[in-house]
Amino acid sequence: MYRFDLTDSYIPAQTDDVVLETTVGGILRDAARQRGDATALVEIDPPSVERKRQWTFAELLADSERLAAALATRYAPGERLVVWAPNVPEWVLMEFACGLAGLVLVTANPSYQKDELRYVLEQSGASALFSVASFRGNPMAEIGAAAAGGLDAVREIVDLDDPDALFRIGGRPAALPDVAPGDAAQIQYTSGTTGFPKGAVLSHRALTNNARFFARRTDTRPDSVWANFMPMFHTSGCGMITLGALQAGCPVFLVKQFDPDAVLRLIERERVTAALGVPTMLVAMLECLDRQPPDRQTCDLSSVEIAVSGGSMVAPELVRKCVERFGCSFQTVFGQTEAAPLITQHHAGEPLDIVCNTAGLPMPQTEVSIRSVDGENRVLPVGEVGEICVRGYCVMIGYHDNPSATAEAIDADGWLHTGDLGTLDRKGYLRITGRVKEMIIRGGENLFPAEIENTLLEHPDVAEVAVVGLPDDKWGEIVACFVRLEPGREFDPEELHRHCRARISPQKTPAVWQAVEAFPLTGSGKIRKFALVEDYLAAEG
């Protein structure tokens, strides 16, 4: 655990671990040498939690190398291939095969519709689309054909469930190239909470080392068991869990789609020790436990050693509930796609109060600073709110084919400006206060949604909450709260108002209250706050 006594909000790169010159394909070969006969990957297709297909590390390498050789006969190194599918083993095979063949894997959310998918295909300059026929009622084969129509760069649309098409041999030599750690491994499209998503180009070095650091902080060992229900199109699913567990030499149960009841049964059946989920997933699992009939209240979750969450604000009450119900330790992480993705994470054994109220300490070999948003880019004193910035091996190569956006995100000194607001305390712990673009300016005063949301999540009636700013003629902006209630609770804005006024100042207390049945979410589980504002303003005329 790091020990700091800061006066300025800057933490230099810590050297308790090293950045290795590794590649996605290289770490698979290492794992197969070290743990060849051990189980590496198990397929789970909810609602069933029965094992379907599974691979040892040696088998995973053999199939990945066979696929890499096939892809090498059809595509030149550096070409971009879009993988548009749920959490299926072929996704993992494509990740490693692309890594071995020097191809760039482009991720796509399987819930995309035609225009969204076409944007990714066109913006990435993809040479092929690898997909499945359908998923959760989404006719993906039909959508894929329509989205790729007229795009001359797209030479193939491949059904991942068709081995003949997947492993087809083309006319190029099958030799695999030498892949360098600094080469592009993936293009991950940002969640798009505002505007069009941008394609963050991530290197082999960034993805593999970040995942290894994550696995070490979570004490992932060869005898650990990970459940991976995070989407593979997100850096948490294909990076942190998949590549982290691989380097630790432990098995991963790949869950095709998140089903809270199935995940709970999987934990019990397979003695899962570790799981990562965005807050909405953990809330759903806790609610599922609450709904279970009495004969299921004894669901054995004693194998769980650690739960991890991030991706959006992790409320203190959610942390406490998870620790109590699962009987495990908890770590909060903070990161973003452009940082491959982790920037901070708790260490094992930190006090619950620290875990509840901070996002941890920087990852190894990662510089973190809090900088002013006034255009001067100053490092601020500890405790002052500013933009969270990061510098180091993990920072993206840049946004694909978007130099202006890259220059806006990464300054001349190499600092990635995350767009997130936060503070560092004297001990180096990061606290998240919101997004730069979500900061509410009411009557000239800066208000931070995370503080208000945390206050509301302490109320027993509140399951999830989103606080936003709405335009106002008098104040410029006013505070609005959208709330999803716990099952069986009645919406009482006056009670919620009293709850806030007893804990925070008047100007922070929401002036507008609205109950929602469900929140609009990005593919990675973040609340699309701009959509809440747009819908509200449209309804109000």
What is the rounded average pLDDT of the residues 351-369? 96
Q: What percent of the chain has pLDDT over 90?
A: 79
Distances (CA, A) of 24 to 128, 246, 500: 21, 10, 48
Q: pLDDT tens-digit profile of 2-61?
A: 999 999 999 999 999 999 999 999 999 999 999 999 999 999 999 999 999 999 999 999
Confidence of residue 294 (pLDDT cuts 50, 70, 90): low
pLDDT at 26: 98
Q: What percent of the chain has pLDDT over 70?
A: 96
Of the listed ranges 4-13, 205-214, 476-485, the least confidently predicted one is 476-485
Q: pLDDT tens-digit profile of 134-159?
A: 998 889 999 999 999 999 999 999 99
pLDDT at 194: 46
**pTM, whole model, 2 decimals?**
0.84
pLDDT at 195: 54
pLDDT at 449: 85
Give the Cβ contact number of residue 149 at 10 Å: 10
Confidence of residue 193 (pLDDT cuts 50, 70, 90): very low
Q: pLDDT tens-digit profile of 310-349?
A: 866 688 889 999 999 999 999 999 999 999 999 999 999 9
Q: What sections of 149-186 are H helices per DSSP?
A: 163-166
CB burial class (10 A; 0-12, 13-18, 19+) of residue 198? buried
Confidence of residue 444 (pLDDT cuts 50, 70, 90): low
Q: What sections of 271-347 are H helices per DSSP?
A: 279-291, 316-326
Phi-psi region of 142 (alpha: psi -120 to 50; beta: other; left: phi over 0): alpha
For residue 16 the two structure tokens come to 């308790």
Confidence of residue 521 (pLDDT cuts 50, 70, 90): confident
pLDDT at 176: 96
For 101, list phi and psi in degrees, rounded to 5: -90, 0
Of 220-234, 280-294, 431-445, 495-509, the range with the highest mean pLDDT is 220-234
Question: b/e string for 92-125 if b means 16 or more Cβ within 10 A?
Answer: bbbbbbbbbbbbbbbbbbbbbeeebbbbbbebbb
What is the rounded average pLDDT of the residues 507-523? 90
What is the rounded average pLDDT of the residues 124-138? 95
Measured in whole angstroms, the distance separating CA 251 from the mean position of its chain's CA atoms is: 20
Average pLDDT across the chain, whole number:
93
Domains and CATH numbers, the chain: 1-18+366-436 (2.30.38.10), 24-171+183-205 (3.40.50.980), 277-336+350-363 (3.40.50.980), 439-540 (3.30.300.30)
Measured in whole angstroms, the distance separating CA 479 from the mean position of its chain's CA atoms is: 28
Beta strand 128-131 with 156-159 is parallel
pLDDT at 297: 60
**Maximum alpha-carbon separation in the chain:** 71
pLDDT at 293: 72
